[in-house]
Amino acid sequence: MGSTASAKNGTWRNWGGNVSARPAREVTPASVEELAEAVRRAAEDRLPVKAVGTGHSFTSIAATDGVLIRPQLLTGIRDIDRTAGTVTVEAGTPLKRLNVALAREGLSLTNMGDIMEQTVSGAISTGTHGTGRDSASIAAQIRALELVTADGSVLHCSEKENPDVFAAARIGLGALGIVTAVTFAVEPMFLLTAREEPMPFDRVLAEFDELHAENEHFEFYWFPHTGNTNTKRNNRSAGPERPVPPLKGWFEDEFLSNGVFQVANWVGRALPATIPPIAQISSKALSARTYTDISYKVFTSPRRVRFVEMEYAIPREALAGTLKELKAMVDRSPLRVSFPVEVRTAPADDITLSTASGRDSAYIAVHMFRGTPYQAYFTAAERIFTAHEGRPHWGKIHTRDAEYFSGVYPRFAEFTALRDRLDPERRFRNDYLRRVLGA
């Protein structure tokens, strides 16, 4: 599993290496009953409790100095209901295991993020999303949830059962209870044709509305210090499968996108002045390509170069203006940014604290190579995003607090009222939740 948590000296660390914690104790429950018992015991000892996934969040949302609950023994598919078109999965299942297990059954999720290392519960709890014109985040594909709440009881929710809990708990920030099982809507496995193509920055922005409207999944990467982007359009295909040939795939996805990119980042970190010329070269290194493959293989790709990230959702209509401001800021600053800026979209959804709650959204993500100072870049970017009523990804670096969130989420008070009811003693507290939820 991708978690970097270390048992040796009792210190837990996230994937980005920017968050660590020393839990009082660790538990690896093998059943819902054992997990509920761990929560009850923590309450007796007056300790907070936090379930972790694979530590892929860049914020301290998963950090705890209390009882850390590990997901490893709560994995696998619990039930497949072909009539309802749903699959119920244990909450600790890594997305990559879920994808493979579903494919074996001829089934698939509708949309995915960029990677599949995370656990199901970790991914949904922060609102993990990919890009989509009609299909939204992973949490938006949930049909029912099972949770262990602060008193150690098991709570089920769906649109029909405890609908107020269902509205919020699909993206629960780990604040409402410990998710033990997730029921997803699934569909017959499908193929996607990916078209990757370099395009000038100005043209992507000028044609963004058409590119978004004409493609089921459109995204692009802008390379700072250049006017270049790489666009990606994924659309459903009747086949035949035409995957990237293994050697070409290795060269482009491993050697160029990970190996050479890693070296370029090392050089850039040591000699920042080399970053703009390297960006000019690397933004042109990947040529256009088209391939057709099983959906999850097209949605996701390996990310081996470690980085830290900030990502904000803004109203979709504000995208072009916001990106132009971001580019102008980078151009006139002494910043040297070696990582591309990723742009994606999601349709409005109905989840209380989803970054796309009630509004069609565009996502802008800024990254910095691990070990490079990122504060100046992220602070300047965040100033631009918040001026457009941006909502930060719950699992990616930001500096916002409850007061800010109550302004950008019309249903913020609904979430905190539910939390007051389900967890009045704040069994699932940590410093991050205190900041973003206000108590």
Ligand X SMILES: Cc1cc2nc3c(=O)[nH]c(=O)nc-3n(C[C@H](O)[C@H](O)[C@H](O)COP(=O)(O)OP(=O)(O)OC[C@H]3O[C@@H](n4cnc5c(N)ncnc54)[C@H](O)[C@@H]3O)c2cc1C
Binding site for ligand X (CB under 6 A): 15, 50-57, 61-62, 91, 113-115, 118-119, 121-123, 125-126, 128-130, 173-174, 178-179, 303, 393, 395
d(CA 192, CA 345): 18
Q: Which residue has the tokens 């035949």?
A: 240
Angle at 43 (CA atoms; ends 38, 47), nearest 5 degrees: 90
Shortest Å distance, C-beta 296 to ligand X: 12
Which residue, 25 or 82, is less far from ligand X as judged by CB? 25
Which residue, 51 or 368, is less far from ligand X as judged by CB? 51
Distance of CA 235 to the CA centre of its chain: 21
Which residue, 359 or 393, is less far from ligand X as judged by CB? 393
Q: Which residue has the tokens 């009953």?
A: 33
Q: What is the CA radius of gyration of the chain?
A: 21
d(CA 383, CA 167): 30
Which residue, 91 or 167, is less far from ligand X as judged by CB? 91
Give the number of residues written for the chain: 439
d(CA 307, CA 37): 37
Confirm if 171 and 351 have CB atoms less than 8 A apart. yes
Which residue, 56 or 225, is less far from ligand X as judged by CB? 56
Which residue, 130 or 152, is less far from ligand X as judged by CB? 130
10 Å CB burial of residue 26 (0-12, 13-18, 19+) is middle
d(CA 184, CA 175): 21
Shortest Å distance, C-beta 282 to ligand X: 19
Shortest Å distance, C-beta 5 to ligand X: 9
Strand, helix or coil for residue 143: strand
d(CA 171, CA 139): 7
Shortest Å distance, C-beta 405 to ligand X: 15
Cβ contacts of 300 within 8 Å, gap of 6 or more? 112, 113, 114, 115, 116
10 Å CB burial of residue 166 (0-12, 13-18, 19+) is buried
Shortest Å distance, C-beta 112 to ligand X: 8
Which residue, 179 or 314, is less far from ligand X as judged by CB? 179
Which residue, 92 or 188, is less far from ligand X as judged by CB? 92
Shortest Å distance, C-beta 286 to ligand X: 18
Shortest Å distance, C-beta 174 to ligand X: 3
Shortest Å distance, C-beta 315 to ligand X: 18
